[in-house]
Structure 1
Amino acid sequence: MDLPEDCWELILNSLGDERRFEPVSLVSHKLLSITHNLRRNLNITQQALPQMFNLLRRFPNLKKLDFSQVTLDVDGFLCSVSEREMDLVSLNISNQKEFPITGLQELASKNKNLKELVCSKIGFLKDEDVIAIAESCPALEVLDISYPDYDCSFLPDGSQDYGSFEGFVSDAGIYAMAMKLERLQKIDITGNCFLTDKSLASITANCRLLRELVVNDCDCITEFGIGVLMSCSRNLSSVSMNGIGISPIHQFFSQHFGEARNLREIDLSHSYLSDEFLCSIAEASLKLEKFSLSHCHNYTFAGISVLLRKYQSLEYLNLEAAKFLSDESMIGVI
């Protein structure tokens, strides 16, 4: 116990998981105090909500707050949290019935270093919300606005009825947002079904530092938009999309892969691909480390063989539901 506090901090930080602080904190008051000062993450549950301000006092150096398990007046709680002196870098406000715009604005005004915002599954997310995000948090590097919940009904033919919507995230909202988020490095727009290729063009033109894009379940975004993104985003290292390529897409993509030299991870799950497309990836000489073709169609073992011979240092390959695979063919590749 005679060790200086900075030595104890090095030892405790080497544990790697803040949950391991709990048994250590029971040893002595000194270690209890040190673990309190070292804690950076706090997940607020519905049960812990009444004790939230006691927890904020208990852990004075928090950097990340997670309200995704709270569904009661998050807007008001964010306003209250903003009154405390903090230096947050990450905030998760997912699963809310509506976007807590006032609370976010108050909290962001006091935490200028906020770099990550996760607001997945927000009820009735709309343009004014994403614009407010950009205006309140201009230093954002990571943004997740995936799967907004519009609680839509269904028409007699089984299709979704969007006619009663009061608002949603559109290309215009993404354009206004991207204009203000020049530092953005990762964005997840999965499930925003009203976005088109124009949104990707806006992100490409304004977010020059973009490294990761997740754009699954966006039916109006096509291979054209993805191609433009890859041809202009020189820093792009990871792309995740699904359902791309109702028709073979190699003819369009092949001319763009050569520009995306830093691509390391590609996920094209549930897409319609061809062997020519896989060959174009092989010819591009990317820094590919991870490639997912889960539940993809049309390609054959010949295309995979060319790809694997080119990228022998590939660390991860997902061929789930590739019915053509056999022991004999895989042995041939090895």
Structure 2
Amino acid sequence: MPFENICIFGAGALGGTIAAKLAASGNVDATISVVARGAHLDAIRRSGISLFEAGADKPLLANVTATNDPTELPPQDLIITGLKGHQLAPAAEGLAHLLKPSTRVVMILNGIPWWYFHRDESNHAELQFEELDPGGKLWRLIGPERVIGCVAIQGAEVSDPGQIRLSNKGRFILGEPSGDISADLREIEALLNRAEISVTLSERIRDDIWSKLMGNASFNPISALTRSRMSDLMADGATSDQIGKVMKEVKAVGEALGANVGISVEERLEQASQVGPIKTSMLQDLLAGKPLEITPLVGMIVALGRLTAVPTPVSETILALVSQLDRENCRTA
């Protein structure tokens, strides 16, 4: 697969990281474009992307073609989306404009993705959820058969327009919904490796989704509700106890759907205690006055709990509270 044109659709913290590394690499012979918006777009157009890797004093500087209108770009060989789950459906038409018959779409997503049950081996194969894909626009215009799932193990924040800071040396887990280690997957892995982006291929990407979701479904909403960083959440015994209860619910729902989460709640909490004073993505969005990514992270735990008859009482409470927080935050922003 020749990658002549690569578009990063949603060049925020994670998408911008990949765009910068691809564009700055001398080993990637491709035109790199980004779709962004607002002050971030203006800064990228003016000065490119400044990427501060963990511990670095000086940024990696990368110039890319930047637009807020995907119709200005030609069809792409590869699209990598950095949009959050609730931002995808409104972007469906723009993404569809960039497709040609062979285009694959790598979707970096937290939580349960809209394509989750495509080629799934459970009794729920091809099940679609209106709350993840209103009107089925993504399923119809993009198609789950194009998607390569991506789980990001990378702390990142847009610290200023056009400027991204990484908190760790992360990696990205890629997997086909079918579980195949396909030729496309291998070629995308090689492309990203050439840009010094660490990649792991997975034959069971849903397991990786649930493993990360144990943290996302607990830390993200609780950090937003309390306006606390990770280290502060873990330092308070009562709060960390509630986090553990959410993790147990998430793990139970995932296992009821056939996932092998592969990590205990105790191990996951121990990992979190080592993270430090990091702002979760939901806390970042709350403080910026942006809509919160609630449905893929929390709402789907409740919905899939009902589907599998697994009780999720703590998640239901958090869903109600963080939904009200989101409404108030958007109203006053």
TM-score range, shorter chain: under 0.3
Larger Rg: 1
